[in-house]
Amino acid sequence: MPLSPADSLTDVPAGNASSSPPALRMPAEWEPHESTWIAWPHNKSDWPGKFAAIPFVVAEVVRNLAPAEIVNIIVADAAMERRARLLLRRIGVAGDNLRFHRWATNRIWTRDSGCIFAHAPAGLAGVTFRFNAWAKYADCEHDAQIPALMAAAAGAPAVQPQRAGVPVVLEGGAIDVNGAGTLMATEECLLSEVQQRNAGFSRADYEDVFREFLGAKRVIWLGKGIAGDDTHGHVDDIARFVSSQTVVAAVEPDRSDPNHQPLADNLQRLRSVGSVGGQPLQVVELPMPRPISYQGRRLPASYTNFYLANGLVLVPTFNDANDRVALNLFAELFPDRQVVGIYCGDLVWGFGAIHCMTQQQPKAGL
């Protein structure tokens, strides 16, 4: 049943012993990176009528990332690698920070299909949740192999969360962490009856997994995601940590918009939390862009789908008046980072943006 705002913050008790290494901690996205993982676009059915623009968007993301950190690029084969290298050279991207991995994929959304790297006592661990394509698509056989491949390539022992011998399903976009023991997720994504990720899982089951494999001592449960979200409520389209005690939350003032009430409810829940880690939780409102639709379908355009890299904030933009508001807000929140807008009006036709297509590999030993 839906939680009241007063119930939206949960302390996670110690669970039963498991196969996971001790003291796993998923670092915050703003902590130092070793690299970023992406997959090169190839599935034209994900962007019907718009695919030609998508490699250029991905290349622009790589162009900004490559000077700051290693970019691991997943390609299907040698031919795809040649195409990717050619496009990147044409826009001035080359050098030692590009690493290619020839692995087959179904889609490019490595935030969800890739492994989640966590700090462990001996270095990094690759937490390899099972990926089932958001319980929506049958063609995920290649993407389901990516978590273990990423962990092996990074030299990180793979740790697969299981319950009763069954691998736990989770996507990276379904959670957000502050690196200091607090995690955010939504009821719609993980607890609503329409979801088919982990049959019979309760809120307590998820909280135990979050504690054991990601180091989350507290969980903030928000309600619903935004209209058009193909994942049914990923948190990275509605609210994100930008510091250990600060969250940006999407808001929609137009009462006629279907996002107004769900986002207002989420905002109330965040404000009811009070404190995180002994300090007051600061909630910063972030406007939504105007509704974007294509072929009659509402798309999940949101500025909270930003990505933090070493010295960078990559922010999706949509040729909207609120682009400037969002970019200025991020400049205030991250005065020591370069804020870069990346046009995602075409990319979002595939139901994702910058955060969805990236997965960070943190530096080990920090």
Q: What are phi and psi of 176, to 5 degrees?
A: -145, 140
Q: Which of 322, 319, 281, 321 is closest to 304 using CA atoms?
A: 322
Q: What is residue 41's predicted lDDT score, i.e. its pLDDT?
A: 98
Catalytic residues: 356
Q: Which CATH superfamily is domain 5-362 in?
A: L-arginine/glycine Amidinotransferase; Chain A (3.75.10.10)
The pLDDT score that the predictor gives to residue 4 is 39
CA angle 211-146-221, nearest 5°? Answer: 30
d(CA 135, CA 73): 25
Q: Break the chain into its structural domains and give their ranges.
A: 5-362
312-317 and 338-343 beta bridge pairing: parallel
What pLDDT does residue 11 have?
A: 56
Mean pLDDT for each 10-residue chunk of the chain (366 residues)?
Answer: 46 44 87 98 96 98 98 98 97 94 98 97 95 94 98 97 95 97 97 85 96 97 96 97 98 97 98 91 98 94 98 98 98 98 97 98 87
d(C-alpha 183, C-alpha 222), whole Å: 11
